[in-house]
Amino acid sequence: MLIVFFYLNFLKVGEYMKLFGTMRTNDDGILEIGGMSALDIKKEFGTPLYIVDEKLLRDTCRLFVNNFKSDDLRTEVIYASKAFLNIGMAKLVNEENLSIDVVSGGELYTVLKANFPPEKIYMHGNNKTAEEIDMAIDNNIGTMVIDNKQEIAKVESALESKDKKMDVLLRVNPGIEAHTHEYIQTTNHDSKFGESIFSEDIYDISRILDKSDRLNFKGFHCHIGSQIFEEESFIQAALAMIDFAKDVKDKTGISIDSLNLGGGFGIYYTEEDRPMDLEKFLQRLCKEIRKKLDELELGDIKILIEPGRSIISNAGTTLYEIGGTKETYGGKDYIFIDGGMGDNPRPALYQAKYEGIIANKMNQNPSHKYTIAGKCCESGDIIIRDLELPEAEVGDLLAVSTTGAYNYSMASNYNRIPRPAVVFIKDGKGRIVVKRETYDDLIRNDVL
Ligand code: LLP
């Protein structure tokens, strides 16, 4: 007990949650995001609330576009929309000149409703339905990423029946091991995604694609996993993909136009995470790729990347109201918030860790170790464990940082709790991008 007390007193104010982008503590000791204080945000939009720091989001988009480029390499940055998608986000991504990837009819529908230029849409999925394939073709999307051999025939016959052609990439699995959480590792030899570059079949599959009258075979796609911190994993995957392109060229005579290297760049959630310096890394990636393409005399292959989490994560904060506190018989200090696993399932699903702060007590020193619990009927509904905070009182506001990616997009209505609104805040003003769900929204599809 004494040790905890001394430890907490050594922590300086504000050190227990990293502040990103426009976040700062204002003169009244209140957290501010996008020039609005957490109290004003709460007053105008209510809680729980997904807040997006619009300036940071735009700056991050620009960081990718400006650094993943080089005079001697064709490049393209595609936002992986599964991380966070709604019409407002798709519009912003378009304004910032990124392309977008979708993995379902629902994601495709959303980006089309946002008037996203169809030629800049990439469609993924390991089991696209006939309806999804039709929808992609009817809306003239730019590129279909074919997952497997069987899918070639499906897409071809749909194109045939509509007398159309389409650019395609083939998703392959380069077998690069990336150090990440097991559940979100997509590249091992038994991954459900793509065709292995080690299978003998791969040359035949490439030939089939190349010979097709309906498919313009542009090249290969890979994605080695998510929340990866090792630069070398990405470099090795890029080099392996280029070696593979050379191998295919040597064995089949097919010269590809494009290589899509996927996303997965790791970001900061807590001080355990060591993200790369993205600017330097992206520039290095371009250089290493150019060198390798030159070595193998592969010429002008276009390189694409597909970041999701690293675009939106740090720009997102969830604001909750504290409804109560409880010290258990066993000595655990709980804070109860007005959201939880419904708006952020990642701690329960992946044991993901987050930082948090009492947004109206930024200048107070931490004095307690709290467990932040949501309001769902489930013991696993815990957002943060052992969070050092000043004494919490009913009505305080709890801000959890870095909730931009895979929170809103993975949210559920468990316990019939409506999903929070999404607000983009910039220059002291907030705009609602997604309205707060109502009870009527919850029963919308129930048959009376
Ligand atoms: N491209 C493909 C083909 C992908 O499968 C993914 C993510 C991405 C790009 C974007 O990866 P990112 O840059 O966001 O790491 N729900 C999990 C993450 C699943 C990622 C799935 N694929 C989570 O909450 O951590």
Q: Which residues carry out catalysis?
A: 377
Please state the pTM of the whole predicted model: 0.95
Which pLDDT does position 286 carry in this prediction? Answer: 97
Token readout for 429 is 């003003």
303: part of which helix (H) or strand (E)? strand 302-305
Return mean pLDDT, the chain: 94
Element (H, E) at 123: strand 121-123
CA 152–ligand 1 middle distance (angstroms): 24
180 falls in which pLDDT band (50, 70, 90)? low
What CA–CA distances, in Å, run from 89 to 86, 141, 226, 265, 383? 5, 19, 21, 20, 25
Reading the block at residue 281, the tokens are: 């890394």
Total residue count of the chain as it appears in this document: 448
Confidence of residue 176 (pLDDT cuts 50, 70, 90): confident
Instruction: Give the separation between CA 113 and CA 161, rounded to whole angstroms.
Output: 25
Question: Could you read off the pLDDT of 42-89 as tens digits, one per residue?
Answer: 999 999 999 999 999 999 999 999 999 999 999 999 999 999 999 999
Q: How far is the CA of 309 from the centre of ligand 1 (A)?
A: 7
Task: Report which protein residue has its CA nearest ligand 1's atom 23.
Answer: 406
% of the chain with per-residue pLDDT over 70: 94
The Cβ-side half-sphere exposure at 413, using a 13 Å CA radius, reads 11
Three-state DSSP class for residue 114: coil
* Tokens 């996303």 -> residue: 263
Kindly calculate the radius of gyration of the chain based on its CA atoms and give it in whole angstroms: 24
Residues with CB under 6 A from ligand 1: 80, 83, 124, 184, 186, 223, 226-227, 262-265, 306-310, 346, 350, 406
Which stretches of 312-420 are assigned E, i.e. beta strand? 316-327, 333-337, 356-358, 368-373, 382-389, 397-401
Q: What is the 3-state secondary structure (H, E, C) of 26-48?
A: CCCCCEEECCEEHHHHHHHHCCC
Is residue 238 pLDDT above 60, yes or no?
yes
Q: Would you say residue 2 has pLDDT above 90?
A: no
Confirm if 50 and 318 have CB atoms less than 8 A apart: yes
pLDDT of residue 102: 98
pLDDT band at 15 (very low <50, low <70, confident <90, very high): low
Tell me the pLDDT tens digit for each residue of 321-380: 999 999 999 999 999 999 999 999 999 999 999 999 999 999 999 999 999 999 999 999
Find out whether 105 and 113 touch, Cβ atoms under 8 Å. Answer: no
Which of 68, 84, 226, 261 is the best mutation target for the ligand 1 pocket, counting ligand atoms within 8 Å of the beta carbon and taking the most? Answer: 226
Q: What average pLDDT does the segment 267-287 reach?
A: 97
Distance 286 CA to ligand 1 centre (A): 21
> Which two three-digit tokens encode residue 448?
């009376």
Which of 302, 254, 252, 255 is closest to 142 using CA atoms?
302
Do 149 and 201 contact (CB within 8 A), yes or no?
yes
| CA nearest to 403, candidates 31, 48, 38 | 48
